[in-house]
Amino acid sequence: MVLARRSPPQSSRTSETHSRADPASAVTLRISMHTMKSIYINGDSYSAPDQSLTVYSQHLAQLTGRTVINRARSGMGNRNIIRTTLQDLHQAEPCVCVVALSFIHREELWCADAVWQRNPQLNARMRSTERQQGSRFITDSWLSDADTNSLPLGHRRYMDICRQWSDAYVDLYMLAHSLTQLGHDYYIFGAAHNTIGAPELDFQYRGYLFNLPQYQWCQQNPRIRMLEQFDIPTWARDRGITTSSTGHLDTEGHLLFAQWLQAEMVAQGLL
């Protein structure tokens, strides 16, 4: 994916707009400050391009007439989504960034070359958005029990759900501030279903989380949907929209979600 770098104010810029959602793999985006901002989307499988149907990024392009770049990939965790978003937009022209976050319990693991050599089936199955060969981060959603047992002992650790919730909102707080600092507008929500209902999340911890300054800042920000209060499967169910067993939308559902998202972005002054 190639995004146009920021140009000095006095230099001329080429204006190039598209009314389609372009694959993230081969997009050159050139936007003048005098044209409509493009829309950048990142997330997991709830937002990812799918050859078998038309996803909401494509519908959103048709509804808005804007360039929509979809960076979402199946199986991605939030750290990967946030990191690739900031990498893509670090020196890009200002755009409207839509971040559709995943399950907070998805963890990233660093896997060295040797792991892939011992487990070629895992290597073939993993669709990393970063390095396709050699050592790289992956999300643990791609790992079976057998895969996990083949990893170094340091990766096989207890994942603390309380830490994951705290990290999620600290990361979200920093993402929003980073995008603002880079000159990008944003709308952020959780695409995957997350709930603060696990037995580990007792009232003492919930009191800590709810009083965390970063949590409260996100809660007061109208451009952020709280992760435990919104997700695509629940959004669809509440409206009687058909989904797969995992809550993924079909083409009609993606169209309805694109229309809802467009209305939300208009209400926030993003379109």
Q: Which residues of 123-157 are buried (b: 16+ CB within 10 A; e: fewer)?
A: beebebbeeeeeebbbbbbbbeeebeebbeeeeee
Give the lowest-confidence range in 15-19, 25-29, 65-69, 91-95. 15-19
CA-to-CA distance for 140 and 127, rounded, in angstroms? 12
pLDDT of residue 46: 98
- Please determine, for residue 40, whether its predicted confidence score (pLDDT) is greater than 50: yes
pLDDT of residue 206: 86
Mean of the per-residue pLDDT values for the chain?
80
CA-to-CA distance for 198 and 5, rounded, in angstroms? 44
pLDDT of residue 151: 53
- 44 neighbors 102 (Cβ within 8 angstroms): yes
Q: Is 152 left (phi over 0), alpha (psi -120 to 50) or beta?
A: beta
- 29 neighbors 38 (Cβ within 8 angstroms): yes
- Please determine, for residue 153, whether its predicted confidence score (pLDDT) is greater than 60: no
- pTM (whole model) above 0.85: no
Q: Choose between 130 and 244: higher pLDDT.
A: 244
Question: Tens of pLDDT along 174-206?
Answer: 999 999 999 999 999 999 999 887 666 777 888
Question: Tens of pLDDT along 198-229?
Answer: 666 777 888 889 999 999 999 999 999 999 99
Name the one residue in this structure whose structure tokens are 């372009």: 22
* pLDDT above 90: percentage of residues in the chain: 58
User: What is the DSSP code string of 105-129?
Assistant: T--EEEE-HHHHHH-HHHHHH---S
AA identity, residue 180: T
- 173 neighbors 29 (Cβ within 8 angstroms): no
- Please determine, for residue 66, whether its predicted confidence score (pLDDT) is greater than 90: yes
CA-to-CA distance for 262 and 94, rounded, in angstroms? 18
- 165 neighbors 201 (Cβ within 8 angstroms): yes
- Mean pLDDT over residues 243-256, rounded? 97
Q: What are the phi and psi torsion angles at 208 (to 5°)?
A: -65, -50
Vertex 105 angle, CA 102 and 111, to 5°: 95
pLDDT of residue 31: 38
AA identity, residue 226: M
